[in-house]
Amino acid sequence: MYRKWQQWNRRAHTLLWALVVIGIIAALPLGATRWQMEKTSNQVEYIFNYRALVQIASYKAKPQSYIKEQLVLMKEAGITTMAVFESSLQELRWAGRLSLYNSDQAGALVGKPSESDENFTYILFNGPQEEEAYRDVITSTFTSWDIPVRPWEYGGREGLMLETPLEDAILKQMNPDPLAVKTLHAEGFQLLPRLSDRTPFNAAALEKLFAEYKELGVKRILFDGAAVKGFADNAEMKSLYTFADILNKNGIGITAIENSKPQKGMNTLAYLTHYNVNRLYSLSDSDAFSMKSDAIADRFQLAAKDRSIRMFYLNGAPVSSADKSAITDPLDNLYTAIAGNEEEEGAIKKLSDLGFKPGIAHAFDHEKPSWHKPLKVVIALGAVAFITLLISAFLPGVAIPVYVLGLIGSAGLYVLSKSVLEQGLALGAAISAPTLAVIWAIRRVRAHTVGNRRPVGGAADSPAIHGQVQWLFPGISAGRRITMAMALFATTSVISFAGIPYVIGLLNNITYSLVIEQFRGVSMLHLAPIALVAIYVFLYTGDSVIGNLRRLLTMKITVLGVIVAAIVGAAGMYYLSRTGNEGQTTGLERLLRNALESTFGVRPRNKEFLFAHPLFFFGLFLALRYRAAWVLFIVGVVGQLSMVDTFAHIHTPIYISIIRVLLGLVLGAIIGFVMIAVWQVLEGVWKRWIPRLAQEKMRSKSGA
């Protein structure tokens, strides 16, 4: 019965690998669909924060003239769009639309003392045009907050009195400045309104506002604050659904800001607007001022090419400079970053050379054909098979029940959450591929050195003596070891590649490309293969797992061992700090990255080509002769899993990830060859001089 079960399991392994291959084939059409989708939006939009311009202008001798002058320069530089915020009384004062007074200031203005129990806000419009544009806007805004509004005038100028302190009044948000919107539209700028959820949801007012935006050619809006418009009232009024209908009716999409805390309600609104979403990179005030123009252009180039960003948002702020004895701003620096000059190329030129022309950014065309769904089922079956094979590598004889349980669990998880199922299977396949690849390499090295052994327990079928570890494997020439290491390195990488189609196929959804939904478990992907390969190296490469475990548990703890453990722990913490989108880099690494970007157009991952791949290749060469070198397999799996992880960054175009991985392999192999050459030289020197030193030592003892 036991033998029959073993036969069934061996056949099951063959079937499982067949399912893995079928899953890979099924994922290829989904990858091709995504590849085509990534080509459907190639226009980039350069946007400036109009509120920042107004604030900078407020520090100039002639603010209005300054704004007009800068609008011309921005247009010449290639800035096509102006972001207009919901206005406030403070912003309208900066723009020279009106004057603001508290009760004491208003009393001093009219020559009367203010009332003793009064702390109101007084407004004077700066002309008839301003009164016509802002009276109704201000009145309706403050009335909605139950703040009484009454007419007021002084010196022939019309105004309003608001029964609330000035400090409170300037915090209330109103619709974007209507005069500024008309002026910017007349100047030929595209408009990007920024709306907040700080005021009560008013569907009728929004219907009217967005009808006006449609007439002005507005294609997209951007939210300001922690939530999208309508989120606060959604539970009571279903306001997100109403707002989505307004957006869809007017053909207006939404914008998501990269690397910022997701705004509340964004996922729901994105779904309701059929993912008419563009991602935006925002350059901060401090970066606009402190970064060099060429560095800003390089950052935009990287964002468009590697992260599918199509909107670039420029901020600025007035800065007090003691050195220049003046209030300065970053506008000239930004113009050079966008347009370039005689000495350097700007972002427009760099991105245009890559096929990203300036214009209005459009959402990616993400329509999914009906045949995607059955293919995903096939991919899911292959992913469960992949995970089963990994478990079987450590627990032989359980392939059939594990696969059946995997199918049952997957079916149950699909009912609970399709997204969690897809991410779980993608993570499982991503962990399984590099782990199984390195385990295969370990087994091949064992077959060529100590001989084939049973994977779990039992006696060895090699001539090695039980209970002893064979540390040196003579008999294979250096040239033969190099060719074998090349073959093992290439084959291991191919097996690791098998996990990539599963990540692409299972996470083939526009939500991942837009980073509305993110692939969870990145830390697990970076740790699990390392831990599993380490377990395999230390427990599964001897006479028996139990014997290896007993040997490890009875090892004496030494000071050297504690030091080594501390170093390994520190290296692990550093490694984790480098994973994910928020990993930290040093200045030297950034210089290296820029050099690689300039040389190859796409930079490989440093940990792959500088660290993991070379040490793995070098380790394969050494492992065919030295047993101690098997520990380098643990390092090697870092590069293998990193290749799969590269494709887990769904917002990065597939072709970029392919180039990055292949470059890492080639450069890593080259560095590995160099390490082997250096080792051979050092080993030759050692073999030549150590016997001579021993002989001289013996002679000196004889002479004594």
pLDDT per residue as tens digits for the range 383-395: 999 999 999 999 9
Report how far residue 318's alpha carbon sits from residue 327's, in angstroms, rounded to the nearest whole number: 6
**Both tokens of residue 58?**
């407020």
Average pLDDT for residues 78-105, to the nearest whole number? 92
Q: Please identify, among 174, 203, 221, the residue that sits at the C-terminal boundary of a domain.
A: 174
Same domain, 218 and 293: yes
Average pLDDT, the chain: 88
Does the pLDDT of residue 430 top 90, yes or no?
yes
Same domain, 511 and 392: yes
Q: Is residue 466 part of a domain?
A: yes
Q: Is residue 696 part of a domain?
A: no
Selected residue with higher pLDDT from 10 and 178: 178
Can you give the pLDDT at residue 463?
44
Same domain, 147 and 283: no
CB-CB contact of 664 with 613 (8 Å): yes
Predicted structure pTM score: 0.86
Which stretch of DSSP H or E encloses residue 124?
Answer: strand 121-125
CB-CB contact of 366 with 8 (8 Å): no
Report how far residue 12's alpha carbon sits from residue 346's, in angstroms, rounded to the nearest whole number: 59
Q: Is residue 125 part of a domain?
A: yes
Q: Is residue 576 part of a domain?
A: yes
Same domain, 168 and 182: no
Which of the four pLDDT bands, split at 50, 70 and 90, describes residue 142? very high
Average pLDDT for residues 560-582, to the nearest whole number? 57
Which stretch of DSSP H or E encloses residue 577?
Answer: helix 559-577
Selected residue with higher pLDDT from 454 and 225: 225
Does the pLDDT of residue 51 top 60, yes or no?
yes
Q: What is the DSSP letter of 171?
A: T
Angle of helix 372-394 relative to helix 499-506, nearest 10 degrees?
Answer: 140
Q: Please identify, among 174, 207, 222, the residue that sits at the C-terminal boundary of a domain.
A: 174
Burial grade of 70 (CB within 10 A; 0-12, 13-18, 19 or more): buried
Residues in the chain, how many?
A: 704
Same domain, 262 and 312: yes
Report how far residue 248's alpha carbon sits from residue 272's, in angstroms, rounded to the nearest whole number: 9
Report how far residue 337's alpha carbon sits from residue 291's, in angstroms, rounded to the nearest whole number: 10
As beta bridge partners, residue 282 has: 313
Can you give the pLDDT at residue 454?
41
Q: Is residue 704 part of a domain?
A: no
Can you give the pLDDT at residue 456?
37
Report how far residue 223's alpha carbon sits from residue 194's, in angstroms, rounded to the nearest whole number: 5
**What is the share, in percent, of the chain residues with pLDDT greater than 70?**
89
Report how far residue 81's alpha carbon sits from residue 290's, in angstroms, rounded to the nearest whole number: 23
Does the pLDDT of residue 532 top 50, yes or no?
yes
DSSP code string of 408-464: HHHHHHHHH-HHHHHHHHHHHHHHHHHHHHHHHHHHHHHHHTT----SSSS--SSSS
Same domain, 420 and 505: yes
Same domain, 408 and 521: yes
Does the pLDDT of residue 461 top 50, yes or no?
no
Q: Is residue 297 part of a domain?
A: yes
258 lies in which domain range? 43-86+178-358
Average pLDDT for residues 145-157, to the nearest whole number? 92
Average pLDDT for residues 22-48, to the nearest whole number? 96
Does the pLDDT of residue 577 top 60, yes or no?
no
Can you give the pLDDT at residue 466?
45
Can you give the pLDDT at residue 294?
92
Selected residue with higher pLDDT from 326 and 599: 326
**What is the share, in percent, of the chain residues with pLDDT greater than 90?**
67
**Both tokens of residue 85?**
């915020």
Same domain, 446 and 508: yes
Average pLDDT for residues 167-177, to the nearest whole number? 91
CB-CB contact of 48 with 82 (8 Å): yes
Same domain, 168 and 269: no
CB-CB contact of 524 with 435 (8 Å): no
Same domain, 238 and 114: no
The alpha-carbon radius of gyration of the chain (Å, integer) is 33
What is the separation, in whole angstroms, between the first and last Cα of the chain? 73
Can you give the pLDDT at residue 11?
86
Can you give the pLDDT at residue 701?
64
Q: Is residue 408 part of a domain?
A: yes
Same domain, 484 and 449: yes
Residue matched to tokens 């609104």 = 269
DSSP code string of 3-29: HHHHHHHHHHHHHHHHHHHHHHHHHHH
In terms of average pLDDT, the best of 4-18, 168-182, 266-280 is 266-280
Which of the four pLDDT bands, split at 50, 70 and 90, describes residue 455? very low
Query: Cα 488 from chain centroid?
Result: 32
Dihedrals phi, psi of 151, to nearest 5 degrees:
-65, 150
Burial grade of 79 (CB within 10 A; 0-12, 13-18, 19 or more): buried
Same domain, 32 and 150: no
Which residues are CB-neighbours of 703 under 8 A, at least 6 positions away? none
Report how far residue 149's alpha carbon sits from residue 499's, in angstroms, rounded to the nearest whole number: 65
Total domain count, the chain: 3
Q: Residues 331-369: pLDDT tens digits?
A: 999 999 999 998 899 999 999 999 999 999 999 998 888
Q: Please identify, among 110, 141, 174, the residue that sits at the C-terminal boundary of a domain.
A: 174
Looking up residue 203, the CATH number of its domain turns out to be: 3.20.20
Q: What torsion do the CA atoms of 222, 225, 227, 229 make, to the nearest 10 degrees?
A: -50
Report how far residue 138's alpha carbon sits from residue 161's, in angstroms, rounded to the nearest whole number: 11
Q: Residues 272-323: pLDDT tens digits?
A: 999 999 999 999 999 999 999 999 999 999 999 999 999 999 999 998 887 7
Report how far residue 681's alpha carbon sits from residue 630's, in angstroms, rounded to the nearest whole number: 21
**Both tokens of residue 634?**
């643990």
Q: Is residue 699 part of a domain?
A: no
